[in-house]
Amino acid sequence: STPFLKNKRIGIYEHSSAGRDLYKPLFIALGAEVVSLGRSDNFVPIDTEAVSKEDREKARSWAKEFDLDAIFSTDGDGDRPLIADEAGEWLRGDILGLLCSLALDAEAVAIPVSCNSIISSGRFFKHVKLTKIGSPYVIEAFNELSRSYSRIVGFEANGGFLLGSDICINEQNLHALPTRDAVLPAIMLLYKSRNTSISALVNELPTRYTHSDRLQGITTDKSQSLISMGRENLSNLLSYIGLENEGAISTDMTDGMRITLRDGCIVHLRASGNAPELRCYAEANLLNRAQDLVNTT
Give the pLDDT of residue 172: 93
As a whole number of angstroms, the distance between CA 223 and CA 98 comes to: 30
Give the pLDDT of residue 133: 96
Give the pLDDT of residue 170: 87
CB 109 within 8 A of CB 141: no
Stretches in the chain below the pLDDT threshold 50: none
In tens, the pLDDT along 18-74 reads 999 999 999 999 999 999 999 999 999 999 988 999 999 999 999 999 999 999 999
Give the pLDDT of residue 1: 72
Q: What is the DSSP string of 276-292?
A: SEEEEEEEESSHHHHHH
As a whole number of angstroms, the distance between CA 196 and CA 99 comes to: 14
Give the pLDDT of residue 197: 98
Give the pLDDT of residue 122: 95
List, in order of start, the domains of the chain with CATH numbers: 9-84 (3.40.120.10), 93-204 (3.40.120.10), 209-296 (3.30.310.50)
Give the pLDDT of residue 274: 84
Model-level pTM greater than 0.85? yes
